[in-house]
Amino acid sequence: MKPGPTWSYDDAPLKPRFRSQGGKQGSDGARGRSVAAYALLVVPFVFLLIFYFYPLVGIARASLLGLDHLDLAPLMARLISPGILRVIRFTFWQALLSTVLTLVLALPGAYVFARYRFPGKQMIQALVTVPFVLPAVVVAAAFNTVLGPTSGLSRWLGVDLRYTLAAILIAHVFYNYAVVVRMVRGFWSTLDPYLEEAARTLGASPWRVFWEITLPLLLPVVVTAGALVFIFCFTSFGVVLILGGPRFATLEVEIYRQTINFANLPLAAALSLMQILFTLVMTSVYARLQRHISRPLELKPQWATERSPRTPLEIGFLAVNILVMVVLLALPLLTLVIRSFGAGLQYYATLFEDSRQGVFYVPPLAAVGNSLKIALMTTGLALALGLMTSLATYRRGSSWLIDALFMLPLGTSAVTLGLGYLLTMDRPPLALRGTVALIMFAHTLVALPFVVRSILPSLQSIQPNLREAAALLGASPVRVLAEVELPIAWRALAVGAVFAFTISMGEFGATSMIARPEMPTIPVAIYRFLSRPGSLNYGQALAMSTILMVVCVVGFVAIERLRPPGPQAF
């Protein structure tokens, strides 16, 4: 699973800003609405049951397959092999290293964004977020280019950094820099600078102010951001698969290899089960941490806390941080684009050619067609399900159970999901294996939490008296929806749609497990091109990555533009 935009930065948008009064007063109308709300939930719930819980059950069954009675010994025997233990150790180790490295680099960046006002700040801030929305294959392709033997960096260092731990770590920092910056900056910028100033006038040196005041106050949010980065890196798939090469495998990659390369489904299922347990534990830790972030402090608006850098030291500090951002974040993407034009327009031109080289060769244009088709269908389905879920949740007033239920897929890795589909979707009435529809269902499941999180806060921000006024003026509930609620929430619907579309375009983990070889999507095609020899294949991978990157960046810009003002959630 790509460490994509999967988590909320703060839980504020999940809480209703204006409590809906329906359902609380126990009047007939309210009860009627509550029943209608549950009816709305039926379809999304059935979807979740079939395409989320059922595959998970399939994994659990497969990993205990062949056991007449409940005996965990064979399962343990499969898992406790030196090879698997090494994979588990490496998964933790690389996640830990990536997290520490990301925090070290991103915390100063968060400070700069939280406290300084400087020209181009908005733009750089947006730029920093771009990597976060890029598909893992694009990132892997970019770093493949930057770290590969022909790049300036490798020639300068005299080593090929591809297929090393360093490559994995750098790509993870690239991905998660924005996570830390956005989470920590958001909190830091509301920290009252007077606290630090008060400490200074009371005789604390700048260093002591940091240790005694700033750090303790920031610690909850830093730890939470670190936990999130750790989860992302722990479940990282595309980056490790492509940049790590055959020597490195995380649990995710191992599940993929055991499935695709060795067809050892029982072992893959056992690994998946373990992966599910790990992520479940980490996610609940994260959720606990997140609740502790908000201290009852006097929060300041950002404009009141930021200022221009003054001393040469401050200006230098700012410059170094911006340099880090540019080198770390912009350079790989620029290199990718430039190299994709390495042979003029040839790489792009050949995307349109149909030069069959092998049995499984599929023209690139077909992959683009597949991706677009799947993305459009995903958008439609995710929007419909998301709207039903949001309306039901909002009509009832918020319910943590519904929230939790529909956010659950966020905590499940895409590769695991793919494996679950492989194991369960092969028998009627669900003989969907190898169909485009199955890919669409997988993408919808991944996208659904984002769609809900886009739409729900916007609906909840509608003041109840607006609905009441419309009703008093004679509007039926359907009319209220059509005339008041949806027109107010249309931007959120658009954001949800763009989210669904870009997530589907970039999804790699689940797709790589379930897509038939002759039905690749763009990310799958990029992966295939990258793993084949020859500069033309490589160039075509870069060209497709560039196209996909542009699609995602356009989507990202659209989301930023359309997003209703207010607290941001991903």
Partner 1 sequence: MTFLEIDAICKTYDGAPLLRDVSLSVERGEIISLLGASGSGKTTLLRIIAGLEVSESGRVLLDGQDMTHIPVHQRGVVLMFQEYALFPHRTVAENVGFGLRMQGRPRSEIQARVSEMLGLVGLAGFDGRSVVQLSGGERQRVALARSLAPEPGLLLLDEPLGSLDRNLRERLLEDLALILRRVGVTAIVVTHDQTEAFSLADRVALLHDARVVQVGAPETIYRRPATPWVARFLGLTNLLPAVRVARDQVDTALGSLSLDSAQWTVGTASTDGYGRGIVLIPPWGIHLTDEGARANVFTATVSRAIFQGRTTELWLRTGETTLALTLELTDGTPRVGAAVRVWIDPGTLCWFQSDPEAPPDAVTQMRS
Selected binder of partner 1 within 29, 71, 72, 197 (CB under 8 A): 197
CA 16-441-259 angle, to 5 degrees, is 120
**Shortest Cβ 313–partner 1 spacing (Å):** 13
Closer to partner 1 by CB, 54 or 210: give it: 210
Site string for partner 1, 261-300 (x = CB under 8 A): ----------------------------------xxxx--
Distance (Å, rounded) from C-alpha 521 to C-alpha 9?
A: 30
Residue 466 near partner 1 by CB under 8 A: no
**Shortest Cβ 304–partner 1 spacing (Å):** 11
Closer to partner 1 by CB, 199 or 419: give it: 199
User: CA distances (Å), 430 to each of 41, 50, 54, 445, in order?
Assistant: 22, 9, 11, 16
Q: Is the peptide bond before 332 cis (omega within 30 degrees of 0)?
A: no
Distance (Å, rounded) from C-alpha 383 to C-alpha 320?
A: 43
**Shortest Cβ 9–partner 1 spacing (Å):** 22
Distance (Å, rounded) from C-alpha 273 to C-alpha 139?
A: 28
Per CB under 8 A, contacts with partner 1 among 537-556 are none
**Shortest Cβ 202–partner 1 spacing (Å):** 4
**Shortest Cβ 457–partner 1 spacing (Å):** 27
Distance (Å, rounded) from C-alpha 505 to C-alpha 138?
A: 11
**Shortest Cβ 153–partner 1 spacing (Å):** 41
**Shortest Cβ 503–partner 1 spacing (Å):** 39
Selected binder of partner 1 within 36, 65, 195, 486 (CB under 8 A): 195
Closer to partner 1 by CB, 25 or 311: give it: 311
Distance (Å, rounded) from C-alpha 397 to C-alpha 212?
A: 41
Distance (Å, rounded) from C-alpha 396 to C-alpha 130?
A: 36
Beta-strand (E) ranges in 441-508? none
Closer to partner 1 by CB, 214 or 272: give it: 214
Strand-pairing partners, residue 307, are: 116
On the CB side of 97, CA atoms within 13 Å amount to 14
Closer to partner 1 by CB, 70 or 202: give it: 202
Per CB under 8 A, contacts with partner 1 among 203-232 are 203-206, 208, 212-213, 216-217
Residue 301 near partner 1 by CB under 8 A: no
| 164 in Cβ contact with 195 (< 8 Å) | no
Closer to partner 1 by CB, 296 or 344: give it: 296
Closer to partner 1 by CB, 65 or 204: give it: 204
Which residues does 97 contact at the CB level (< 8 Å), separation at least 6? 165, 169
Distance (Å, rounded) from C-alpha 523 to C-alpha 509?
A: 9
On the CB side of 461, CA atoms within 13 Å amount to 19
Closer to partner 1 by CB, 25 or 201: give it: 201
Closer to partner 1 by CB, 204 or 366: give it: 204
Q: Among 111-119, 192-200, 233-241, 341-349, which window interacts with partner 1 (CB under 8 A)?
A: 192-200
**Shortest Cβ 318–partner 1 spacing (Å):** 18
Per CB under 8 A, contacts with partner 1 among 117-146 are none
Cβ count within 10 A of residue 126: 13
**Shortest Cβ 107–partner 1 spacing (Å):** 18
**Shortest Cβ 312–partner 1 spacing (Å):** 13
Radius of gyration of the chain (CA): 25
Which residues does 203 contact at the CB level (< 8 Å), separation at least 6? none
Distance (Å, rounded) from C-alpha 417 to C-alpha 430?
A: 15
Distance (Å, rounded) from C-alpha 172 to C-alpha 235?
A: 11
**Shortest Cβ 384–partner 1 spacing (Å):** 45
Closer to partner 1 by CB, 216 or 534: give it: 216
**Shortest Cβ 209–partner 1 spacing (Å):** 8
Q: What share of the chain is helix, strand, coil (3-state, %, to 5)?
A: 75, 0, 25
Crossing angle for the helix pair 165-188 and 121-133, to the nearest 10 degrees? 130
- Tell the burial category of 387 from Cβ atoms under 10 Å away from its Cβ (0-12, 13-18, 19+): buried
Closer to partner 1 by CB, 294 or 568: give it: 294
Per CB under 8 A, contacts with partner 1 among 309-338 are 310
**Shortest Cβ 125–partner 1 spacing (Å):** 23
Selected binder of partner 1 within 70, 73, 202, 472 (CB under 8 A): 202
Name the 3-class secondary structure at 426: coil
Closer to partner 1 by CB, 18 or 194: give it: 194
Which residues does 141 contact at the CB level (< 8 Å), separation at least 6? 242, 336, 526, 530, 541, 542, 545
Q: Give the tokens for residue 197.
A: 């100033």
Q: Give the tokens for residue 320.
A: 């170094």
Q: Which secondary-structure segment (H or E) carries 519?
A: none
Site string for partner 1, 419-458 (x = CB under 8 A): ----------------------------------------
Query: How many residues lie near partner 1 (CB under 8 A)?
Result: 23
Per CB under 8 A, contacts with partner 1 among 51-70 are none
Residue 199 near partner 1 by CB under 8 A: yes
Closer to partner 1 by CB, 221 or 497: give it: 221
Residue 192 near partner 1 by CB under 8 A: yes
Q: Which residues sit at the interface with partner 1, rule CB under 8 A?
A: 192, 194-195, 197-206, 208, 212-213, 216-217, 295-298, 310
